[in-house]
């Protein structure tokens, strides 16, 4: 047996010589590992039969120096990204295919993931953009009438890394205390902890244009509506068609489905599509979609938004909301650990009503930086951050969160109706 000396801090493993970001009880322990080789018959050289369960063959190394042994499922390899946690109880497939998670590992706080498998109907885009999935327990079976394959098979086919059987509660607490951390997922045993730690500290998500990689490359028409089986709000539509241009900064399919269900004829355009070309299409309104990363890293998108302000009604969602904030003269900032989950309470300042919302963002608009006339319409009740804007003089509305949910509650779906009303009033006054 070979012995290696390690240091532990509150349940996670640190290589000797590395210190956590914050202080903690440091205890030296001895960690043993088997050094014998496995024979072609499946037994070890010493005659011991190989264990029938998975072994710890992966690591999550965070920039604070913590090393979290884990078991892998999905694709092998080594990848670096920012680690965030998501508090949703369901909807892991929608999260996997949400382009807004590009450049990030997603840790699910719900302890068991994979129970319902995966299916084609729950895709929010044509591929997975996040860097990896971190979970406590991988379900050993699936039970759902729509299931077509297991989560592990799905990740393998999509070349996406996943790890499980690590203390996700402890990691979540660390992220809440320290903020989002860069990290490395690896199944490569040839790489040392020190090498992986160096990788995590040498990379930064701030200032990277992640939108270019997730946006479509050419315009296309979207026609699919929400399946009638899942459509929950059909009573407030006037049936009149509205022509909408949707800028794809990482748009989710269900945003497009909700627009179609509300009677919009939607053309999706790339993030770099010229404002002048969009106006030539004579739209009734323009939607700026959700997307990944830092809004300050895409000045070209802010300039596009500026060129369109006041020309037609505009509606921003998530990244689109942040770009509108900057285009109106405000500033954005990186949050400590962001909002990721389907249970965030938001107050509508106009009505006083509280909505339970689905959110996914690491940046927010600073309301103190906004010019006069711009109204903060919604506030996140967890931390008081800006969750919605309106600028009536230019027919502007925006939400920091996701009115289409998917996954999440449907409290905010009426925001699409408000966009329809905004376009309707604009047409009547022109």
Q: Is the pLDDT of residue 72 over 80?
A: yes
Which one, of 198, 170, 166, 172, lies nearest residue 80 by Cα?
Answer: 198
* pLDDT exceeds 70 at position 194: yes
Q: How confident is the model at residue 40 (pLDDT cuts 50, 70, 90)?
A: very low
| 49 has pLDDT over 50 | yes
Classify residue 405 as left (phi > 0), alpha (psi -120 to 50) or beta: left
pLDDT at 66: 97
Q: How far apart are CA 251 and CA 318, in angstroms?
A: 10
Do residues 351 and 344 touch, judged by C-beta distance below 8 A? no
Under the banding of pLDDT at 50, 70 and 90, the label for residue 340 is: very high
Contact 376, 352 (CB under 8 A): no
Q: What is the mean pLDDT of residues 26-54?
A: 43
What is the rounded distance in angstroms from the CA atom of residue 173 to the CA atom of residue 18?
A: 20
Considering the candidates 94, 318, 355, 386, report the single residue annotated as catalytic.
318
What is the sign of the dihedral through the CA atoms of 121, 127, 130 and 134?
A: positive
pLDDT band (50, 70, 90) for residue 21: very low
Give me the mean pLDDT over the 9-27 stretch: 41
Give the active site residue among 94, 124, 355, 404: 404
With residue 94 as reference, give the H or E element that holds it. Answer: helix 92-96
pLDDT of residue 236: 52
Q: What are phi and psi of 187, to 5 degrees?
A: -110, 5
pLDDT digits (tens, 9 = 90+) for 154-190: 999 999 999 999 999 999 999 999 999 999 999 999 9
31, pLDDT greater than 80: no
Query: Which of 339, 344, 361, 402 is an active site residue?
Result: 402
CB-based contacts of 66: which residues, under 8 Å, 6+ apart?
9, 12, 13, 14, 20, 174
55-59, Cβ contacts within 8 angstroms, sequence gap of 24 or more: 56/165, 57/187, 57/189, 58/163, 58/185, 58/186, 58/187, 59/184, 59/185, 59/186, 59/193, 59/196
Kindly report the pTM of this predicted structure.
0.87
| Whether residue 290 has pLDDT greater than 80 | yes
Q: How far apart are CA 415 and CA 127, in angstroms?
A: 27
> What does the pLDDT read at residue 231?
76
Q: Is 402 a catalytic residue?
A: yes
What does CATH list as the number for 211-429? 3.40.50.880
**pLDDT at site 239:** 64
205: its two tokens: 């998500």
Q: Which CATH architecture has domain 58-202?
A: 3-Layer(bba) Sandwich (3.50)
Residue ranges per domain, the chain? 58-202, 211-429
pLDDT confidence band for 258 (50 / 70 / 90): very high
Nearest to residue 257, comparing CAs of 246, 271, 249?
246
Q: Is 404 a catalytic residue?
A: yes
340 assigned to active site? no
pLDDT at 135 over 60: yes
Confidence band for 227, pLDDT divided at 50, 70 and 90: confident
On the question of pLDDT at 37 being above 50, the answer is no
293: left (phi over 0), alpha (psi -120 to 50) or beta: left
Q: Read off the pLDDT of residues 299-314 as tens digits, 9 standing for 90 and up.
A: 999 999 999 999 999 9
How many other β-carbons are positioned within 10 Å of the β-carbon of residue 383? 12
Q: Is the peptide bond before 407 cis (omega within 30 degrees of 0)?
A: yes
A 10 A CB-CB count for 239 gives 6
252-263 burial: b if 16+ Cβ within 10 Å, else e: bbbbbbbbbbbb
Q: Place 368 in a pLDDT band, splitting at 50, 70 and 90.
A: very high
At residue 100, the pLDDT reads: 97
């Amino acid at each position: 047996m070979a012995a290696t000396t390690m240091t532990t801090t509150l349940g996670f493993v640190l290589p000797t010589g590395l210190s956590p970001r914050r202080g903690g009880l440091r205890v030296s322990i001895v960690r043993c590992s088997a050094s014998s080789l496995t024979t072609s018959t499946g037994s070890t050289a010493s005659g011991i039969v190989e264990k029938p369960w998975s072994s710890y063959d992966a690591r999550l190394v965070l920039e604070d120096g913590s090393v979290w042994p884990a078991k892998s499922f999905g694709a092998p390899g080594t990848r670096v990204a920012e680690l965030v946690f998501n508090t949703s109880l369901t909807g892991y497939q929608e999260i996997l295919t949400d382009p807004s998670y590009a450049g990030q590992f997603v840790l699910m706080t719900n302890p068991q993931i994979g129970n319902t498998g995966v299916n084609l109907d729950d895709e929010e885009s044509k591929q997975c953009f996040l860097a990896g999935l971190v979970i406590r327990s991988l379900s050993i079976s699936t039970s759902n009438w729509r299931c077509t394959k297991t989560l592990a098979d799905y990740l393998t086919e999509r070349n996406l890394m996943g790890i499980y059987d690590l203390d996700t509660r402890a990691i979540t607490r660390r992220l809440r205390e320290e903020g989002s951390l860069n990290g490395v997922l690896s199944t490569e045993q040839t790489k040392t902890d020190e090498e992986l730690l160096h990788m995590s500290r040498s990379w930064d998500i701030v200032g990277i244009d992640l939108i270019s990689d997730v946006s479509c490359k050419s315009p296309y028409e979207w026609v699919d509506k929400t399946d009638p089986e899942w459509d929950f709000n059909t009573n407030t539509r006037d049936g009149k068609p509205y022509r909408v241009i949707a800028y794809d900064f990482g748009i989710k399919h269900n945003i497009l489905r909700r627009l179609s269900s509300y009677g919009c004829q939607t053309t999706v355009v790339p993030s770099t599509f010229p404002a002048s070309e969009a106006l030539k299409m004579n739209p009734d309104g323009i939607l700026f979609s959700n997307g990944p990363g830092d809004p300050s890293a895409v000045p070209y998108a802010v300039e596009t938004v500026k060129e369109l302000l006041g020309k037609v009604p505009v509606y921003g969602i998530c990244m689109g909301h942040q770009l509108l904030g900057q285009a109106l003269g405000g500033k954005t900032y990186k949050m400590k650990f962001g909002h990721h989950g389907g249970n965030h309470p938001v107050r509508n300042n106009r009505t006083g009503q509280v909505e339970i919302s689905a959110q996914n963002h690491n940046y927010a608009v600073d309301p103190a930086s906004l010019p006069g006339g711009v109204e903060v319409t919604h506030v996140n009740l967890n931390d008081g951050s800006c969750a919605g804007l309106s600028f009536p003089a230019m027919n502007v509305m925006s939400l920091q969160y996701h009115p289409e949910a998917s996954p999440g509650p449907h409290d905010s779906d009426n925001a699409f109706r408000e966009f329809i009303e905004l376009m309707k009033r604009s047409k009547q006054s022109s």
